Amino acid sequence: MFSAETYKKRRQILKEKLGSGVVLLLGNEDSPMNYKANIYHFRQDSSFLYYFGLDMPHLVGIIDIEKDEEIIFGNELTIDDIVWTGPLPSIKDLAAQVGVEQTMPYKKIDKVLHAAQAERKTIHFLPPYRAINQVELSKFFNIPFDAVSQHASVNLIKTVIDQRAIKSAEEIVEMEKAVNTSREMHIAVMQMAKAGMTEKELVGKTIDIAMTHGGHLSYPAIMTINGQILHNHHHHHTLESGQLVLGDFGAETSMRYAGDITRTFPVDKTFTDRQKDIYNIVLKAEVDCIAALKPGIAYQQIHLQAASIITDGLKALGLMKGNTEDAVEAGAHALFFPHGLGHMIGLDVHDMEDLGEDLVGYDEQIKRIDQFGTKYLRLGRRLEEGFVLTVEPGIYFIPDLIDQWQSEGKYSDFLNFDKIATYKDFSGVRIEDDILITNDGHRVLGDRIPKTIEEVEEERGRLG
């Protein structure tokens, strides 16, 4: 946990920016796996963590801006609870740790909210992403379950986004820890993988390291010989000589800041020439796009730069043809690069995505481009000092997509389908790092993670 001063300052800024009304922030509840007492590992809501810091279930925070009053609602343990949990700090002691003086039992929320409503104060809340909090809000405000998100406060959403988007020095320390633990996981996997092993053995290693450092994975690991399946969460395959392994995984720190790193390496100790050709295009896209990052530049432009580099590289291999600018404008590159270049990262791996992708990643000046591939870009807006984001280009050969586009003759001015057909068994390559935007440019967070062909082959033990 940060100091009480940090949380007090964050709430003070929120109050000043919002100006009036009452802010209601719901923490998360424990969530049952298969029966009530058998629970998933607890993950606190990130905005609650940001303003109230307490990482445990069944808490609610209220900030009454006009009264300048802050309250944490939660229940003290009974002796029956203590038999199971052991003694834990009181709600009052917990609240004091984050600079909140007032506490009340959970059931008093209704009364406090109704009093605020009677005084005609606006009650600001964020859109819920868990059904249990949606039910709570529906009951608090007597609004239909399905209508809850429509009543969320756009003012509060925008204010929270403005604040959380700019990472403070102490948050960057945490994010760097997340990346360095993620780095340790990636290096361990690169060192241990070999033909005959299963993907799940590699995933087990990542979980081991993340938990040893006090957190969990920051999202379900992608560890796959089928890298062309973008969010592939199956881990049952056995690695075979000649294949690539795409590993997209990261650690969450004990304070819940996320790392999100991708590396791709050969099951053999060295890449084949064909793998090197594709890998080096992705590497150039990643390195050149990172080099271009600075305050003021639109991330949408960086995404399109990645698309151009990929198109140029694939033209050199005879997989694409025609004018690069025209191909990218038409969207032909998306056969190989059908996702966005990156996203904000912080307490959430896709930071604040629960608050609305467009509100986080776009603004009045830069709107989402509605074209296959580029429409999945989560971040398009101009970058600001203090943003932390991912850069994660990839090239994939997706047999179903290739077949469909070929049968439709889609973008045949730019795509050499005969040649592309010979790559249908290639799978995919993605490379990803986490980057801080600084006042005059950028900084890749964490220590270097093997990335060039030479570095990856060295880690794979080519020299050993």
**22 or 341: whose CB is closer to Mn ion?**
341
**248 or 268: whose CB is closer to ligand GLY?**
248
Can residue 252 be called a binding residue for Mn ion (CB under 5 A)?
no
Q: Which does 445 bind (CB under 5 to 8 A by kind): ligand GLY, Mn ion, none?
A: none
Contacts with ligand GLY, residue ranges (CB under 6 A): 219, 248, 260, 349
What strand order describes the sheet that includes 69-73?
Answer: 102-104, 69-73, 60-64, 22-26, 123-125
Give, as ranges, the residues between 373 and 432 that touch Mn ion (CB under 5 A): 390
* Residue 440: both structure tokens together: 């005059």
**64 or 433: whose CB is closer to ligand GLY?**
433
In 3-state terms, what secondary structure has residue 430?
Answer: strand
Its sign, for the CA torsion 112, 115, 119, 122, is positive
How near is the Cβ of 202 to ligand GLY at its closest, in Å?
16
Reported as half-sphere exposure (CB side, CA atoms, 13 A), residue 196 has a value of 2
Cα–Cα distance measured from residue 422 to residue 413, given in angstroms and rounded to the nearest whole number: 19
**140 or 219: whose CB is closer to ligand GLY?**
219
In angstroms, the first-to-last Cα distance of the chain is 42
Cα–Cα distance measured from residue 176 to residue 78, given in angstroms and rounded to the nearest whole number: 40
How near is the Cβ of 110 to ligand GLY at its closest, in Å?
38
- Residue 210's alpha-carbon distances to 39, 122, 159, in angstroms, are 20, 42, 32
> At residue 198, what is the residue type?
T
The one among 55, 136, 176, 260 contacting Mn ion by CB under 5 A: 260
**58 or 231: whose CB is closer to ligand GLY?**
231
How near is the Cβ of 350 to Mn ion at its closest, in Å?
7
Q: Which residue is nearest to ligand GLY (CB)?
A: 260
**54 or 245: whose CB is closer to ligand GLY?**
245
Concatenating the DSSP letter of every residue in 163-217 gives HHHS--HHHHHHHHHHHHHHHHHHHHHHHH--TT-BHHHHHHHHHHHHHHTT--B
How near is the Cβ of 436 to ligand GLY at its closest, in Å?
17
Q: Which does 174 bind (CB under 5 to 8 A by kind): ligand GLY, Mn ion, none?
A: none
How near is the Cβ of 445 to ligand GLY at its closest, in Å?
15
β pairing state of 433-437 and 388-391: antiparallel
Q: Which does 219 bind (CB under 5 to 8 A by kind): Mn ion, ligand GLY, none?
A: ligand GLY
Q: Which does 264 bind (CB under 5 to 8 A by kind): ligand GLY, Mn ion, none?
A: none
**319 or 349: whose CB is closer to ligand GLY?**
349
Q: Which does 426 bind (CB under 5 to 8 A by kind): Mn ion, ligand GLY, none?
A: none
Cα–Cα distance measured from residue 296 to residue 384, given in angstroms and rounded to the nearest whole number: 6
Q: Quick one: which segment of 78-86, 257-265, 397-405, 451-459 binds Mn ion (CB under 5 A)?
A: 257-265
How near is the Cβ of 372 to ligand GLY at its closest, in Å?
17
**164 or 350: whose CB is closer to Mn ion?**
350
Cα–Cα distance measured from residue 380 to residue 366, given in angstroms and rounded to the nearest whole number: 7
Query: Residues 361-385, buried b or exposed e (16+ Cβ, 10 A)?
Result: bbeeebebeeeebbebbbbbbebeb
Task: Please report, as ranges, the residues that interact with Mn ion according to CB under 5 A.
Answer: 260, 390
